Each structure stands twice: as structure tokens, then as C-alpha cells.
Structure 1
Amino acid sequence: MPASSARSTGPSSDAASTDVRRPVGDPVDKPLPTPAEKAAEKAWKVDLRELGRRAGSMREWEKTLPALSGWGVEMIGVPQGAPVELRLRLESVMEGVLVSGQVELPVTGQCARCLEPVEDTLTLDVQELYAYAGSTTEATSGEDEVRRIDGDRLDLAPLVRDTVVLTLPLSPTCRPDCAGLCVDCGERLDDLPADHSHEVLDPRWAGLAARFTETADSAEPTDSAAGPQPGSTHRTDPEEN
């Protein structure tokens, strides 16, 4: 697996989760790539002919490439086509090619507490050994754990994708102390006054409370029963005398 570290100044996350992280999207349902997507995928494949196979030879590799689809988790990820800055060193070793350096890319998503938009820029340290097809040393014998060089090309996209997915929080937050949403009205608590509250009535007493309200309304005096109002005149019928 890629060894990486991340430095982030934007969204924070809740406590670490033990859930398995998987890239978003189901490969089974993934549509065929468009010509533009094929070109983007090809750009991530590094030609190794210039580096050669002589152990110890090195090459600095700096480029800005478009992010591919599916680089993220459910609530946050790298937008497809976003610029990804790569500052890498390719070193030829006996088993294959050692890739190390930094990757900088933007991520966008949604706060897991208040659902506000979240944006950040991640700087990730990467280091990975890509083994030659015929390499069978102890470091490259695990087929499922070691990336392979395909002919004269090395595909960087899976390395960056997996590093991003392992780094992103499963429950991103806009800030560590985000209060979330009011459970009664759904408004963002950070935008409401400190004394914001709702009167909560036990549903078992709702019917009785409604009857008390109806009784109170019917007990209010009407204008005819209340007698003359201040400022009004009362004319006495002669027959009353």
C-alpha cells in the first residue's frame, strides 16, 4: 500500500472510523470512457524509456494533470478534471522503479454535520515501488500488494487515487466545533441565537392539550355578554322605565 502523509488546512473530520474506504462509484456500472477521458487516463502513464533500467538512474518528474473520476469517498472527493500538481522523483532500482514525492490537489464535499459545502487543498507525500513484470524478489512477490510496470509505462493514477481515498475523512466537517443542524427545524445551529429552542409536547398529551385550548377559547366573553364598552353610549328604551 502507498505510504503517505497529508497536510490539510481546511475540513476536519470526526473521530477516526474503522469502516473500509472505497472509491466512489461502482466499476460494474461505470460507463465507457469518452475520448477526453481516455486522453486524461493516458496522460497519467509515464514513459520510462528515458529513465532506463540501470539501477541508480533518477529522473525528476513535475506535471499538472487532470483528476480522473471516482477519486473520493461518499461525502468528499477530488472533482473530475481538477488540476493535480505532481512533484515526483523516479528512481530505477533492481526490482523496478521507486516513485516518491508530493501530490497537491483540491477536494470538495459536504459537511457531515451541517451539510454546508466544504473545500480544501491536500498535499500528500507518496512513495511506491513499481515492480518489473518479471521481478520475483521478496519485495515484489506479493501480486496483490505490488504495482506492476506495464511494458515501458508506469501508471500513476491508481497510486494517487488510492492515496487520496485513504486520506480523506469519511465524515468531513466544515470546522471541528461545527454544531450541526437543529433537530426540530433543520436550521444550521451556528446561524441561530444561543437560546434557540422549540417547545416540545409529549404526543401522549397532545389531544388533552388541544381540548384545553378549545375550552379556553370558548370561555372568552363575547362583545354582547361583556356589556357596554368604555366610550360607548347606552340608550334606554322608554318601556324599560
Structure 2
Amino acid sequence: MSENKSPQARPAQLDDRNPWVLDTRELGRHAGLSKAVQRSIPVESALGVPDVITIDAGSSLELDLMLESVVEGVLVSGTASAVATGHCSRCLDPITEDVEVDLTELFAYPGSATEETTDEDEIPRLVDDRIDLEPTVRDAVVLALPLAPLCTEDCRGLCTECGVKWADLEPGHGHEKIDPRWAALVDRFEDETGDDQADGPGKQA
């Protein structure tokens, strides 16, 4: 008795008005044809780690891409760039950092060997000859952001005692520390010294 396989759900259609969607129909599925694409895409929700470094909502992602038709699908390569803002992980000063990531992603044709032998979370698919770039670009950009951003590579951070930025402190800045085991002795010595000074050099027995 043969088993009846349930048909796969058809992917939702992609909206051409969405700036993340690219139409590849003019490539005609002819291997070797290519098309250059440049787009500036507004960021609707911040990308990154809040309070560390993010590409803020309202800013833009600049895409400079090449779409190339290959046997199994459309190969997208190029760069995505943006400006990230955050705080130095050592001194907490605000920072601004240019971020650029390289992109290389194959989008598989429906019915291709690649589509039939891989899961969608491994290789993305074309839907009606259209590509949705958003997941690919967002993942690449977020992974490219530093986990511990720095204002400069040699930033010394903050003094752990007073919390002032080391770069703003005088040379030789420090805080004298006394071993607590000796603290009572130091206090007693200071008290005795103070008494001797109060009595004066002319004190008679």
C-alpha cells in the first residue's frame, strides 16, 4: 500500500513594493546572465545589541550587489554597508562606526536539485522569480557588529577607583591602598604624630 505524501505549502508571494524584494525575471534562468543592483533601504527596526552597538531605526542600509543566474538558482554577491552607533565597551564614550559586510548567497530555483536536497533554512528559495534579501542581509550585518566595540584600539577605559576616563587623568594618577591588616596601626601612628605636633617642641616633662 503506497503512502500519500502531503504537498508542500506554497511560499507566500513577495511584494514588489518591498525594497528588500528583487525581481530576477529579466535574467530568464539563462546561466551566465547577470544584473547589477544598488539600493538604499531604510531600517525600520534597530539592528544589533541595544545599549552596546546598533544600526538605528531610521538610518539606511546601502546595498551594492550583483545578481548572476547559475544552473541551480540566482547567486547574489556584493556588499551591504551602514553606520552603527553605540558606546565604547571600556570608557563608555559614544562611538560611530562604519560597517560593511560581504554577501554571497545562492537562492535556489523551485524544482532544482538544490531545492530538493536542502532545507529552506540552509539555502533560501526564489518565489515567482523574486528574491527576499532581508533575512540574508540582516543576519550578515548583525553578525558583523562587534560584541565589544572600542572608541580606539588602545582605549584604557576608566579608573576602577574614581570612574574617570584614564585618558583624561594626570600622568601618575593612582589611589593609595593600605592593607586592612595595617590600617589600625597607620591610624594610631597618625594620631600619635598629631599629638606630638600639638604639644610642640618646647614641651617639658
CA distance in 1, matches of 2:154, 2:160: 17
SS where residue 72 of structure 1 aligns?
A: strand
Separation of aligned partners in 2, 1:68 and 1:97: 27
Helix, strand or coil at the partner of 1:84 = strand
| Structure 1 counterpart SS, 2:25 | coil
Deviation at 1:155, TM superposition (A): 1.4
1:154-210 deviation digits (Å, cap 9, x = unpaired) = 111222222223322221211111111111111110111221111112233334434
Residues 48-92 of structure 1: CA deviation (Å, up to 9, x unaligned): 334433333322211111124352246223112211111111122
Q: 1:215 to 1:160 in 2, by over 3 A?
A: same
Percent of aligned pairs sharing the same letter: 45
Q: How many residues align?
A: 185
| TM score, norm. by length of structure 1 | 0.65
Q: Which has the higher contact order (CA 8 A, sep 6+)?
A: 1
**TM-score, with structure 2 as normaliser:** 0.76
The CA distance in 2 between the partners of 1:120 and 1:148, in whole Å, is 33
- Using the alignment, how far apart are the partners of 2:116 and 2:38 within structure 1? 26
> Aligned partners of 1:110, 1:55: CA distance in 2, in Å?
46
Relative to structure 1, the CA distance from residue 204 to residue 151 in structure 2 (aligned partners, 3 Å threshold; closer, same or farther) is farther
* Map of 2:42 onto structure 1: 66
1:96 and 2:85 equivalent?
A: no
Report the residue type matching 1:192 in the other structure. Answer: L
Do the aligned residues in 2 keep the contact of 1:96 with 1:130 (CA within 8 Å)?
yes
Give 2:82's match in structure 1, choosing from 105, 113, 126: 105
The aligned runs of 1:6-85 (5 Å cut-off) are 42-73=18-49, 75-85=52-62
How large is the RMSD of aligned CA atoms in angstroms?
2.9
Question: Structure 2: which 5+ runs fail to align?
Answer: 1-14
Could you say if the C-alpha distance between residues 185 and 83 of structure 1 is closer, same or farther in structure 2, counting changes exceeding 3 Å? Answer: same
User: Shift of residue 124 of structure 1?
Assistant: 2.5
Within 1, Cα distance between the matches of 2:97 and 2:152?
12
Question: Which of 113, 123, 137 does residue 146 from structure 1 map onto?
Answer: 123
- The residue aligned with 1:134 is 111
SS at match of 1:160: helix
Inter-CA distance 52–68: structure 2 relative to 1 (3 Å threshold): farther
Equivalent position of 1:158 in the other structure: 135
Query: Is the 8 Å Cα contact of residues 140 and 146 (structure 1) preserved in structure 2?
Result: no
Residue 43 of structure 1 aligns to a residue whose secondary structure is: coil
Task: For 2:73 and 2:22, locate their aligned partners in 1 and report how far apart those are by CA, in whole Å.
Answer: 14
The alignment status of 1:193 with 2:170, answered yes or no, reads yes
Q: Does 2:205 correspond to 1:221?
A: no
Larger radius of gyration: 1
Q: Which runs of 5+ in 1 are unaligned?
A: 1-38, 227-241
